Structure 1
């Protein structure tokens, strides 16, 4: 993998040694071990693995959405301070929906949810209809054919198409300009309207006639029922808002950390060394304060560390890098692994064993450094290879659907 900025990028040793950032957190009480592992995406050295199941992840996602909608309902049914429940209501609803999309739907596309084609396909189609995202059949075909094959991070990859056309980012742009462009998109009403329209189009254009009719009838019935029973405000605030504006914001941020662009002239563009270099883990958190600090400085350092973990790193993990997205590099090395439900420990075990048959893993600590890493790779990419004019034959309205890749 080409080096762009070694001051923030961390390369794990091939021997699989413990990570100093994660190990520093072992200074906290033992009951913090599991929450910190789930938050950071990195187990500490020697930590006993959890045993999750695909059905357990599905249940957690659905329960999260139900809890989130319940909190929003409580907020809207009362006055005064109860309205504060809207924030956690939105967050929990969005978290469940993102886990459905980024983990469950994704594994269904690989026929790796339960390993039963009919059941995985049915669940994938249900999720696509509920979230109004790209039709499952088309997503499955494009994802496996163009994202997990020789076309990975080429102009045929939907991820690259979304960067060049929908986000309007270009090779050679400065990191600051890329940030300004992306943040401008996130607050642009026009961008979000086009994004939502493309989501709806990408579903209804490609879904089978039966699913198109069924989804349209279901949405119409829900709308009419909300008017008749007078819960239209709840539907709008508790479901439509987080599933449109908030969903699309975190989707863009997630896109910006998925994969790096290949370096100019990098050859050969095949083999495990090349493909492993296009994906890295993204761990969330920062080094815990040193016990050697003077008492007052140590107290201030722990207060700052706790505040940043709670207010900066937790939202990044809970809303943007949900589920197994923190260790997406494990998926690209082992896309059909039946251990995907135990993703954190499966990746750590592979790392400790020396990544048999693969080059060493790479990782970045923090969402913003991870975005910087991807932006730097695009800045250094070949401007001729990744020129948007080469995408002229691709429909612009379809490119917005690539955000859901």
Structure 2
């Protein structure tokens, strides 16, 4: 029988306390925005009335993508060297939109959770995945629904996400420092980008249905025409860098922080074991200490602001886009289909002492990555042969 899954280190209490501290030290009108940014709702908080319905938000995502691409084009065309200050913003907007098309709209449409109408949801999935050049309906259903969500497969070596990590060289038994080094090198490695590009071509034009192939052909044809008409620098800045390079980076860090892949030699042995293989990932930074001298407090606030802007903002909008901070709710309470309200529903379950105790598994993105790497390093799947230096 597979061993019970170890829980993450005891960091949940600090996350609960940290969010409470934000509730105490920031004005009441900011609290819903803190929740939307961090993914972590405050105790007792309820969803605001102004959260848009999913199908409306889908159209807003497509509009966001258009505005972000045009922003990159005109930054290069009109701003000269000043574009270097604008492009990181438009790139983040572009990656956020394309990632949402994949991990929000394609994902939840496959689960039939966008409009409530399976025909409409199928259209949403086809359009979203074609525009983002990501998995077609059949591929994502097979890999995600039938395999990843299956309790016989979840987080095991047969989970498609586990196979992806092994392919990238994150092999069970490899020392943690070597895994960290590999993670630092992988974003610049052709091993990440070329297979990802091949897969995106394959899922759009080979394994897809004829309907999807036509949609992909029309869309790629439009992108080719734009490439011919546009300046090479503009095209690279607007499409190639954010849609491929940065998109692949975001997907890598999302996968290697999502669940403790490859940490076990078998599937979950029980409901509790299954739940223990999920966690929430939130974008909050510790606040400056109260009562510190003014000079020290000023420096701490400056550091807090810098980390919120340059660390947590890319983490939130590129890696943990949309409802991903509360992704554990999707696994733990699958009957809750209101994923667009996941941050608040998750906290309601915590406030009501839900048996899953999601509050015991709350991490930052960096902590989640560390958990995954350490789990892989100490995995019972490791062979007797040393894994150091494997490709």
Measure the CA separation in 1 of the matches of 2:383 and 2:126: 35
Partner of 1:76: 76
Distance 1:263 1:102, change over 3 A: closer
Which residue matches 2:55? Answer: 55
2:260 aligned partner: 260
**Residues 319 and 330 (structure 1 numbering): CA distance in 2 closer, same or farther, change over 3 Å?**
same
Q: Tell me, yes or no, if the aligned pair for 2:173 and 2:383 is still in contact at 8 Å.
A: no
Cα drift, residue 360 of structure 1: 4.5
* Cross-structure match for 2:389: none
The question of whether the paired residues in 2 share the 8 Å contact of 1:286 and 1:365 is answered with no
Q: What is the aligned partner in structure 1 of residue 352 from structure 2?
A: 353
Correspondence 1:169-208 to 2 at 5 A: 169-208=170-209
CA distance in 1, matches of 2:264, 2:194: 35
1: CA distance, partners of 2:46 / 2:210? 48
Q: Does 1:24 align with 2:21?
A: yes
1:363 aligns with 2:365: no
Counterpart of 2:162?
A: 160
Question: RMSD across aligned C-alpha pairs, in angstroms?
Answer: 2.6
Residues in 2 aligned to 1:60 and 1:385: alpha-carbon distance in whole angstroms: 49
Q: How does 1:106-185 map to 2 (within 5 A)?
A: 106-149=107-150, 150-165=152-167, 167-185=168-186
* 8 Å CA contact 2:130, 2:216 repeated in 1: yes
User: Normalising to structure 1: TM-score of the pair?
Assistant: 0.85
In the alignment, the residues of structure 1 paired with residue 309 and residue 366 of structure 2 have an alpha-carbon distance, to the nearest angstrom, of 16
CA contact (8 A) 2:109 2:124 kept: yes
Whether the 8 Å CA contact 1:260–1:278 is kept in 2: the answer is yes
CA distance in 1, matches of 2:99, 2:191: 23
Gaps of 5+ in 1: 388-405
Instruction: Name which of structure 1's ranges 20-29 and 256-265 shifts more when overlaid on structure 2.
Output: 256-265
After TM superposition, list the pairs within 5 Å mapping 1:216-365 onto structure 2: 216-224=217-225, 226-227=227-228, 229-230=229-230, 233-261=233-261, 264=264, 269-356=268-355, 358-365=356-363
Q: Please list every run of 5 or more consecutive structure 2 residues that lacks an aligned counterpart in the other structure.
A: 386-391
Q: What is the deviation of 1:70?
A: 2.5
Report the more deviating stretch, 134-143 or 241-250: 134-143
Give 1:226 deviation, angstroms: 4.4
Between the aligned partners of 2:220 and 2:329, the Cα distance in structure 1 is 37
CA contact (8 A) 1:42 1:283 kept: yes
1:36 corresponds in structure 2 to 34
Contact 1:57 1:341 in 2 (8 A): no
Task: Indicate conservation of the 8 Å contact 1:171/1:379, yes or no.
Answer: yes
Q: Give the drift of 1:295.
A: 2.2
Aligned residue for 1:390?
Answer: none
**Cα contact 2:73–2:235 (8 A) shared by 1:** no
CA deviations over 1:85-124 (Å, ceiling 9, x no partner): 2221111111111112111111011112122111111111
The C-alpha deviation readout for 1:136-170, integer Å capped at 9, x for no partner, is 222113211111112112232111111112x1111
1:121 to 1:132, Cα distance in 2 relative to 1, 3 A = same
**Post-superposition offset of 1:308:** 1.4
Question: Helix, strand or coil: the match of 2:156?
Answer: coil
Q: Output the CA distance in 1 between the equivalents of 2:303 and 2:382.
A: 45
CA offsets, 1:254-309, max 9 Å, x none?
0111111475577x833320111111001111221222212222222222112211
